[in-house]
Amino acid sequence: MITPTHYMLLSAALFMIGVIGVVVRRNIIIIFMSIELILNAVNINLIAFSNQLHNATGQVFAVFVIAVAAAEAAVGLGIILAFYRNKETINIDEMNLMRS
């Protein structure tokens, strides 16, 4: 019997994998993809509880999360492209123009 606890554990594990990706990797595109993993983990949680409580509000919230993720991906990738055109790198340790 699959309870929402199972889904919460799955969501927590996926969330932590995303956080590890953001913290450890230096390639900024991988960092953005890890952020998408984090958003998916949140979505899984929302929909699991929407399923248990038979209330579609969780799914409406998940739709908004997907919309915001799309907006954030578009703008973030635009920033990456603009930065790459100037400095020819996608390693975030080299993106330190404001550091003295």
Partner 1 sequence: MAQAIAFYFVAACILGFAVLVISTKDTVHSVLFLVLDFLFVAALYVLMNAEFLAVIQVLVYAGGIVVLYLFVVMLVNLKRPPEAHQDPHRLSRTGPFLAAAVLLELGAIAVMGGEAGAPPAAAAAASPFCAAMTGNTEQVGCLLYTSYLIPFEIASMLLLVAMVGAIVLAKREL
- Enumerate residues 35-94 that contact partner 1 by CB under 8 A: 36-37, 40, 43-44, 47-48, 50-57, 59-60, 62-64, 66-75, 77-82, 84-85, 89-91, 93-94
The dihedral sign for the CA sequence 61, 67, 70, 76: negative
> Which residues, 6+ apart, have CB-to-CB distance to 34 below 8 Å?
17, 18, 19, 20, 21, 22, 25
CB of 97 to partner 1, least distance (A): 14
- What burial class does residue 61 get, using C-beta atoms within 10 Å of its C-beta: 0-12 exposed, 13-18 middle, 19+ buried? middle
Our finding on whether 100 is near partner 1 (CB under 8 A) is: no
Our finding on whether 34 is near partner 1 (CB under 8 A) is: yes
Residues within window 4-33 making contact with partner 1, judged by CB under 8 A: 4-10, 12-21, 23-27, 29-30, 32-33
